[in-house]
């Protein structure tokens, strides 16, 4: 039986995590097929490592997990080289990037199959079909080319998460020491990345989660999450958890159950949530969550303007007033809200686009005034509609174009797009982008992020002093002196470097 090689392309400089995406795919074939993981974060020359495995002739199937942005830098050239050097291999890509951009990937000629969304069932079914020379046309969550045509099979319903096979941590540890995946962060000395639920019940129009999960959410039970975390804590000494779920806090009941279980373990934790959902949590639940170690929660605030929240299809009941009120409410519980905002959304005239940017800057200052510990993460609106969707057509009609050839995605301009910093959208002028970036520099100067654990209090005070006057006077142009200090002290930006 042919073996499987699973590749996690480099995603971070230094601060890498347990590669949950590729590990869950390994779990799906564990016990049925032999597999190995190559992690681009851990090997100095991963292409050579891959080539040495393939040269044995034992490996036929290659699975790449691909997020937009940094992971493309290895995925694209590696896939091309591998197909040239080992043409007998079958290349299968999964993850957010291939699910959103299947055509350009399959047209490249070096990827054979795409797993569209969850691969826990689709991947083993595909391998079985290919191994046994059986038809794969009826396997769900698959995209492939038949002649010149792109074929997308039916999407699978979201399945229960508890019955999924456990992640093969021990086997991963034989390839890469797990302890090195448990990095030092603001939360702790050895931080575990854990993914406890899939999807999200909402349909925000800017979010890549929506076309893949179609407003559905399924979670592991609090007990299963606790058991997994406890295993890693006891075996490898994890003392903190980053929950990588798109929306960890959907269910108050599950959150409270988990908080009760984890409280005695004295671990710190972090996760992503919605403001309107959590604002419905009782005071008792919020107090318990904090006592159980939850120090900071990431919220997509997006905008203080209710019309923009509608435009972004934020759904739920979130409003500008609520965003401010909730920041104040969390202060009482000593939970730091980490609010992300999306600036630079389209409007009919340039004047309106600019006025909206000014409004958000003013709004963010109001949030900071009620709760100065609120962490602000600024993104510039980068449309991520799925190829062929109605929104994709709208965005194209406005003059925005995605690359036409796969290799173009690794150009510096498109890397900036992926990092949501300079999105190449036609309605934003360089001056507007400059204004957003300069405000961000000054804001980060006055309020350096608590997640930058290397920035000493003396350095913080020095930057604050320089930036404070600008902030008070609303003067954001040319903040070179702050930029210089941030550069010299290697200030970290969660929006670019990942949380
Ligand atoms: C962890 C993570 C990271 C980590 C690195 C991940 C890694 N592999 O090492 C870090 C923090 C570095 C990171 C960075 C970024 N990330 Co990121 N990241 C995530 C996050 C939170 C979790 C990914 C994960 O582990 N999921 C758990 C697994 C089990 O789920 P999964 O990945 O969906 O995998 C399933 C399927 O997709 C499929 N599948 C996946 N891979 C494969 C491979 C094969 C072979 C097969 C068959 C199937 C398959 O099967 C899996 C099991 O069902 C996701 C959001 C999320 N909740 O998924 C965002 C997410 C993927 N990131 C995203 C982005 C944009 C980024 C950035 C590029 C930009 C940014 N500003 O955040 C940065 C890059 C910064 C930098 N300089 O590195 C976006 C992608 C959006 C999009 N447009 O497609 C997401 C969806 C967040 C979001 N909602 O916006 N990220
Ligand atoms: S609530 Fe968050 S994860 Fe859910 S659709 Fe909106 S932006 Fe995406």
Give all domains of the chain, ordered by start, each with its CATH number.
Answer: 3-152 (3.40.50.2300), 182-428 (3.80.30.20), 444-499 (no CATH)
The finding on whether 70 has its CB within 6 A of some atom of ligand 1 is yes
* Total number of residues shown for the chain: 499
Q: Is the CB of 420 under 6 A from ligand 1?
A: yes
106: pLDDT strictly greater than 80: yes
pLDDT tens by residue, 52-78? 999 999 999 999 999 988 899 999 999
Considering the chain, what percentage of its residues have pLDDT values greater than 90? 71
By three-state DSSP, how is residue 379 classified? strand
d(CA 30, CA 170): 12
Instruction: Please name which of 168, 161, 152, 64 lies closest in space to residue 120, comparing C-alpha atoms.
Output: 161
Q: Closest ligand to 202 CA?
A: 2
In ligand 2, the atom with minimum distance to the C-alpha of 247 is 3
pLDDT category at 467 given cuts 50, 70, 90 is confident
Q: How far apart are CA 164 and CA 162, in angstroms?
A: 6
Helix (H) or strand (E) holding 53: helix 46-55
Give the model's confidence band at 145: pLDDT under 50 very low, under 70 low, under 90 confident, else very high. very high
Residue nearest to atom 16 of ligand 1 (CA): 498
Please give the Cα distance from 340 to 359 (Å, whole number): 15
Q: Look at residue 499 and tell me whether its pLDDT is greater than 60.
A: no
Top pLDDT among 392 and 438 is at 438
Cβ–Cβ under 8 Å, residues 320 and 275: no
Give the pLDDT confidence score for residue 394 in this predicted structure.
66
For residue 81, pLDDT over 70 is answered with: yes
Spell out which residues line ligand 2, taking CB within 6 angstroms: 200, 202-204, 207, 209-210, 246-247, 274, 300
Summarised one tens digit per residue, pLDDT across range 5-50 is: 999 999 988 778 999 999 999 999 999 999 999 999 999 999 999 9
Which pTM does this prediction carry?
A: 0.92
- Residue whose Cα lies nearest atom 69 of ligand 1: it is 419
| Atom 82 in ligand 1: residue holding the nearest Cα | 208
Query: Is the confidence at residue 422, as pLDDT, over 80?
Result: no
Pocket mutation for ligand 1, best pick of 96, 102, 217, 451 (most atoms within 8 Å of C-beta): 96
């Amino acid at each position: 039986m042919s073996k499987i090689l699973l590749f996690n392309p480099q995603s971070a400089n230094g601060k890498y995590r347990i590669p949950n995406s590729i590990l869950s795919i390994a779990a799906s074939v564990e016990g049925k097929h032999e597999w190995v993981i190559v992690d681009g974060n851990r090997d100095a020359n991963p292409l050579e490592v891959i080539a040495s495995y393939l040269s044995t002739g034992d490996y036929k199937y290659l699975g790449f997990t691909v997020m937009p942005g940094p992971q493309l830098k290895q995925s694209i050239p590696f896939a091309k080289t591998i197909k040239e050097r080992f043409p007998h291999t079958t290349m299968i890509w999964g993850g957010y990037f291939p699910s959103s951009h299947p055509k350009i990937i399959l047209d490249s000629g070096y990827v054979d199959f795409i797993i569209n969304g969850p691969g826990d069932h689709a991947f083993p079914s595909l391998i079985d079909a290919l191994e046994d020379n059986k038809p794969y046309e009826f396997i769900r969550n698959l995209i492939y080319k038949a002649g010149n045509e792109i074929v997308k099979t039916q999407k699978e319903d979201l399945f229960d998460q508890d019955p999924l096979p456990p992640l093969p941590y021990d086997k991963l540890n034989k390839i890469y020491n797990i302890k090195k995946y448990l990095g030092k962060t603001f939360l702790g000395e050895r931080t575990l990345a854990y993914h406890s639920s899939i999807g999200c019940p909402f349909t925000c129009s800017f979010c890549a989660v929506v076309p893949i999960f179609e407003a559905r959410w399924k979670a592991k039970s609090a007990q299963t999450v606790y058991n997994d975390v406890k295993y890693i804590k006891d075996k490898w000494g994890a003392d903190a958890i980053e929950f990588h779920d798109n929306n960890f806090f959907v269910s108050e009941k599950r959150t409270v159950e988990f908080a009760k279980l984890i409280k005695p373990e004295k671990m710190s934790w972090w996760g992503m949530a919605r403001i309107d959902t959590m604002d419905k949590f009782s005071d008792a639940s919020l107090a318990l969550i904090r006592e159980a170690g939850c120090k900071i929660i990431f919220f997509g605030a997006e905008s203080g303007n209710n019309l923009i929240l509608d435009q972004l299809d934020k759904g739920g009941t979130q409003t500008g007033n609520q965003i401010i009120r909730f920041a104040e409410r969390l202060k009482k519980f000593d939970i730091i809200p980490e609010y992300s905002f999306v600036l630079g959304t389209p409007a009919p005239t340039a004047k309106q686009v600019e006025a909206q940017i000014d409004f958000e800057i003013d709004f963010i200052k109001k949030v900071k005034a009620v709760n100065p510990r609120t962490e602000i993460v600024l993104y510039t609106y980068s449309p991520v509609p799925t190829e062929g969707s109605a929104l994709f057509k709208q965005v194209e009609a406005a003059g925005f174009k995605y690359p036409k050839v796969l290799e173009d995605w690794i150009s510096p301009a498109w890397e900036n797009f992926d990092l949501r910093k300079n999105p190449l959208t036609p309605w934003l002028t360089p001056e507007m982008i400059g204004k957003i970036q300069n405000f961000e520099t000054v804001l980060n100067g006055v309020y350096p992020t608590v997640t930058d654990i290397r920035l000493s209090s003396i350095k913080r005070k020095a930057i604050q002093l320089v930036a404070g006057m600008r902030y008070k006077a609303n003067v954001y142009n040319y903040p070179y002196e702050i930029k210089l200090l941030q550069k010299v002290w290697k200030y970290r930006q969660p929006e670019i470097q990942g949380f």
